[in-house]
A and B are shown apart, each in its own frame.
Chain A
């Protein structure tokens, strides 16, 4: 698997002796088949470099402890705590700190992938530490760093959603709803800005975020669409605009219908209900806006703040 835009990384680190003395802890090379080259790996260089350090750190711990077996129980616990501390403080939390400085979606999705690999490493380390421990007592070893990486994963995905939402806001700035319009919509066509916004979002999901695993893509996609739903809902429930005509509500209802049908066409159960609440609020305006008491008159000029019961 080769990806465009992948950067050729100097292999200096491979030659600098970082791989020294890790032989007992590494996978036998005979088990691995060779692909075509050059090959872009899913993770960035941070991951294998940290793996080497984790192996080296573990090995150096046990090198010292050889010779006084009666205290190995303490040494096992000291090693586990030290490793946990290093992974949480120096890896996971440093990744979290760097997140605040990164706005590039491609780089953020690379961090998601890296963090998922670190989660794999934590799980494998828990098993490895059991086999390495000097006193062959039973029981499992639990690393708290796994929970820390899960938190980092969530923060990274939320950062991606916030970044996309920020860009989506610029599309909403182009929205030209006329809140007191008296002419009914002539056609069932959605607003241009909204179609552009959805085009933008689809493109982002299929291009810069392509390397995300499906569950992560679903999380981000749903988060971005929920932001879209929240902004549209805010038109109906917030203090501004103060007045919305029945006809203007019908324009919004048409837009929401279009969004709903777009989501239906995506055929993704994780996204299916993201506009449901908004649709339930706005759809009655579309059905009978000229015949029924309007939502606005029900609610005394505008919908009640937050989740109007109409």
Chain B
């Protein structure tokens, strides 16, 4: 059983490394490819998708409640 656990942990470590490598290049290309201009959404579908994935402050002009006004 402990051999299986060790194998799983080794696999997990390997998986973790691969995941980090993949996301490292993803994050880097996103940041280096930014146009540094306000993102514009054209319809409700785009808006809902962006707001549902993005962490927004709970209050103030950048909160979901204020952005939607």
Contact = CB atoms under 8 A, between A and B. Distances in A.
Interface of A: 1, 3, 5-9, 11, 14, 19, 22, 26-29, 31-35, 37-53, 55-57, 60-61, 64-65, 67-68, 70-71, 74-75, 78, 82, 85-86, 89-91, 94-95, 98, 102, 104, 106-108, 110-111, 114, 116-117, 120-121, 124-125, 211
Contact of A110 (B36, B51, B53): B36
A107 B37 contact: yes
B52 A90 contact: no
Contact of A32 (B16, B20, B46, B64): B64
Contact of B40 (A6, A22, A82): A6
Given A35-B47, A41-B50, A111 B36 contact: yes
A111 B32 CA distance: 12
Contacts of B31: 46, 50, 90-91, 94-95, 98
Contact of B68 (A26, A32, A94, A108): A32
B53 A90 contact: no
Given A1-B69, A107-B37, 17 more contacts: A7-B40, A11-B41, A11-B42, A14-B49, A35-B67, A37-B44, A38-B42, A51-B54, A53-B30, A57-B23, A64-B12, A74-B9, A86-B20, A90-B23, A95-B31, A102-B36, A211-B38
A91 B48 CA distance: 24
The 9 tightest CB contacts between A and B, nearest first, are A90-B27, A107-B36, A6-B38, A46-B34, A33-B68, A121-B55, A40-B38, A94-B31, A7-B37
